Amino acid sequence: MSQTRHVPVMLQRCLDLLAPALETTGGPPPVVVDCTLGLGGHSEALLSAFPDVRLVALDRDKEALRLSGERLAPYGDRATLVHAVYDELPEVLDRLRIPAVQGVLFDLGVSSMQLDEADRGFAYAQDAPLDMRMDQTAGIGAAEVLNTYPPGELVRILRAYGEEKQAKRIVSAVVREREKEPFSNSARLVELIRDSLPQAAKRTGGNPAKRTFQALRIEVNGELTVLERAIPAAVRSLAVGGRIAVLSYHSLEDRLVKQVLAAGAANTAPPGLPLVPERYQPRLKLLTRGAELPTEEEVAENRRAAPARLRGAQRIREDER
């Protein structure tokens, strides 16, 4: 496996955010969960930086688990790798008999491995089967979405998940073309998008297929639906003093993360109470002011860091029982 292609995004900042919860002063070893293992760059750094920590790492992609298993083998039983989607975190912790954890990390979006393996169909820059499933053993691929979804549903997906202003034009062209021959490969879709967009739309925002590919990927993997469940579940899994760090790569993910963390950091008391009872006090303290961005140096070194947005929070109170 080539380690050179995988540079973990905002690595040092993630470690710094989680460090106060993972640096032990005696007691049982702290547990950190990497909800998006990928090629294991963040996980390896966590195990290396915090010698007492126990890692639980999740990924829905079996190939990622295999490659990361090789990478993390030197850490022995300090690392437990699990084939699971990140909204399954509560079930995974139950199975492992872990009541609460000290740290949780999410690095959302597509892993470097999935982008770099041409036959997965995630990248619009090279021709490949239109698959886009992060777990290739489950669900339907992007080609089936394109070939079978009603036009109105395709327009909704492109607008909601790709923020694509030209959704109707693109879907009209897709519907026309799929009647002649079903879609199977990415190059044909990229060409169709280029041909169906007005000149002005092609002059801004990079590859004109980018938003459609993002929308299809989110739909195929149920990413936002999963994330809506996963972030609250991760917050609930934190012990008091535990910390969560979340890297997002587009505004839809970031908005969702922001809403969950902001709600946890707000007091929920009815207005006008002279003293706020314990049960209304915030459960979280925000650790980042808004979303933190990668440095210019990091983006120069790793172009995939450019859209990253990092948010962090600390658990400061138990839930009411």
Write out the binding residues for S-adenosyl-L-methionine: 40-42, 59, 86, 107, 114
Nearest in space to 113 (alpha carbons), one of 74, 66, 162:
66
Does an H or E element contain 66, and which? Answer: helix 62-72
Residues at the annotated binding site? Answer: 40-42, 59, 86, 107, 114
Say if CB 313 and CB 261 are below 8 A apart.
yes
CA distances from 67 to 3, 8, 58, 81, 112 (A): 10, 15, 13, 11, 12
- What sign has the CA pseudo-torsion 28, 29, 32, 38? negative
SS3 category, 30: coil
% helix / strand / coil in the chain, to the nearest 5? 50, 15, 35
How far, CA to CA in Å, does 75 sit from each of 35, 101, 197, 246?
Answer: 18, 19, 51, 24
Segments in 86-244 forming alpha helices (H): 89-95, 112-116, 142-148, 151-162, 167-180, 186-196, 199-202, 210-221, 223-237
User: CA 89, 92, 97, 101 torsion: positive or negative?
Assistant: negative
